[in-house]
């Protein structure tokens, strides 16, 4: 693998801006940040035991990174962990060399070393960042944070509200159950589930809102594997105004469904109605947060925006079939790993590999296909497994006919789509961003054990 020193020598900072994939409109405004990954302690609630975690800048979640559309973000990443890491900027249609994927786009950042990420932000929206080496462990331990790009200069504090959700597997002393990391049962089933829910790094927080007027709530699921479902009170239907950052044609729902890695922005027309945030994915109602109205403000939000790009013509589109198989109770008997076909039981016990695309156990070296620049692409995915999969494409957003919301089928532009067992879905995008881009399940244990590959846009 290329060394970090050689990589930096070959991709000096002067090349980053000259290689911007999207515009000559990038502003001269550079937003600078520094993120340090290290071991830290965090309190999920007052006067309780502090939990040993791995965090960015000692914060859970990591610090909020903000920028305006067409800014350039520059982040110095310092790795003070005992193992290598890298940072992925989830949902950003990024420069490939800044995407944060080991092997494909950068060398691992070794303990004690630093790496400078520098990239433009073309799109306003709700995004996030997270560790992308051993993500099944590093994200679990807390290495993630929110990233919000605005198109109106400033985020208004009490009517633009972040709801960042995670579930943690904790013991009675509020310490992480590290013995379960790598559990083969979790990896072959739904993934690693937690037993405690946090919102913005806290158990059942009070969230301040204005006592009247409109508000935007930005929901973000950072969990390893759990699909979350939120409701506001029992009777409030909300307007969904953005999915995975991109604006959408607003639609109403009373349940906000979020697979791992997904984001949903909703509009509340009257904040005085906000009482409780409830999580209902288990069939039981859990009060996840309460809302605390403070200070009166009649606010009107500008939410009538167009998606990042319109649905493309499918004339001469390239179709790539992706047959998703594996896992417990599945129909995959054997698969190809490192060029050799092996029995799935052998792969599970000796390689911790359990999932496959097109009978290939994937990794950072598995190429799904070659694409031409500006080609229209249909990823024709078939979830031929017994489990849900949250499918994420790096570097692009795709159109999909979403079946994620109850009794609705709606066309959305997403970067992560939650597929149900047996579902077939077309993920449609324009391959307008050159480089090698991952496509993988964001149930992080599924990703680590084979449901991963890349598309090469030349």
Report the pLDDT value the prediction gives residue 212, as an integer from 0 to 100.
Answer: 87
Question: What is the predicted pLDDT for the residue at 297?
Answer: 66
Topology, domain 160-293: Immunoglobulin-like (2.60.40)
Residue 294 pLDDT: 84
Q: What CATH number does the domain located at 318-457 have?
A: 2.60.40.420
User: Domain ranges in the chain?
Assistant: 4-150, 160-293, 318-457
pTM: 0.93
pLDDT in tens, 329-381: 999 999 999 999 999 999 999 999 999 999 999 999 999 999 999 999 999 99
| Common-topology check for domains 4-150 and 160-293 | yes
Residue 322's contacts (CB-CB under 8 Å, 6 or more residues apart) are 357, 358, 368, 379, 380, 381, 382, 439
Q: Which residues of the chain have pLDDT under 70?
A: 1-28, 152-158, 297-299
Residue 298: the pLDDT is: 63
Multiple choice CATH, 4-150, 1.10.287.70, 1.20.1050.10, 2.60.40.420, 3.40.630.40: 2.60.40.420
What pLDDT sits at residue 65? 97
Per-residue pLDDT of 405-417, as tens digits, reads: 988 999 999 999 9
């Amino acid at each position: 693998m290329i060394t970090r020193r050689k990589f930096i020598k070959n991709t000096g900072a002067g090349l980053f801006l000259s290689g911007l994939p999207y515009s000559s409109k990038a502003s001269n405004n550079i937003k600078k940040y520094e993120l340090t990954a290290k071991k830290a302690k965090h309190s999920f609630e007052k006067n309780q035991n502090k939990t040993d975690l791995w965090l960015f800048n000692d914060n859970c979640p990591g610090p909020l990174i903000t920028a305006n559309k067409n800014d350039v973000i520059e982040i110095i990443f310092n790795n003070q962990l005992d193992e290598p890491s890298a940072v992925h900027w989830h949902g950003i249609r990024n420069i490939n060399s800044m995407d944060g994927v080991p092997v494909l786009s950068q060398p691992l950042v070794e303990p004690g070393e630093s790496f400078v990420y520098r990239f433009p932000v073309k799109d306003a929206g709700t995004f996030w960042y997270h560790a992308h080496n051993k993500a099944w462990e590093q994200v679990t331990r807390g290495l993630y944070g929110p990233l919000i790009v605005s198109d109106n200069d400033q985020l208004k504090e009490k009517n633009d509200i972040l709801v960042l959700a995670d579930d943690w597997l904790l013991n009675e002393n509020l310490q992480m159950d590290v013995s379960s990391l790598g559990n083969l049962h979790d990896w072959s089933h739904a993934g690693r589930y937690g037993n405690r829910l946090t919102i913005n790094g806290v158990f059942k927080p009070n969230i301040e809102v204005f006592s009247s007027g409109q508000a935007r709530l930005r929901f973000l699921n950072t969990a390893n594997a759990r699909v979350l479902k939120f409701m506001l009170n029992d009777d409030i239907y909300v307007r969904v105004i953005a999915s995975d950052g991109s604006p959408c044609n607003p639609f109403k729902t009373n349940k906000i469904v979020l697979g791992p890695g997904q984001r949903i922005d909703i509009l509340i027309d009257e904040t005085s109605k906000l009482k409780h945030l409830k999580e209902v994915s288990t069939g039981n109602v859990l009060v996840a947060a309460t809302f605390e109205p403070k200070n009166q403000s009649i606010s009107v939000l500008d939410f009538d925006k167009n998606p990042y790009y319109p649905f493309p013509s499918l004339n001469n589109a390239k179709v790539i079939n992706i047959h998703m198989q594996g896992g417990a109770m599945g129909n995959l008997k054997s698969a190809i790993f490192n060029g050799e076909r092996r029995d799935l039981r052998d792969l599970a016990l000796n390689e911790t590999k359990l999932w496959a695309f097109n009978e290939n156990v994937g990794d950072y070296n598995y190429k799904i296909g070659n694409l031409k620049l500006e080609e229209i692409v249909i990823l024709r995915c078939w979830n031929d497994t017994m489990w849900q999969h949250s499918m994420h494409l790096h570097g692009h957003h795709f159109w999909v006919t979403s079946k994620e919301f109850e009794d609705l089928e709606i066309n959305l532009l997403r970067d992560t789509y939650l597929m149900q067992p047996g579902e077939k879905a077309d993920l449609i995008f324009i391959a307008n961003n050159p480089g090698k881009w991952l496509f993988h399940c964001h149930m992080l244990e599924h990703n680590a054990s084979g449901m991963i590959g890349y598309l090469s846009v030349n």
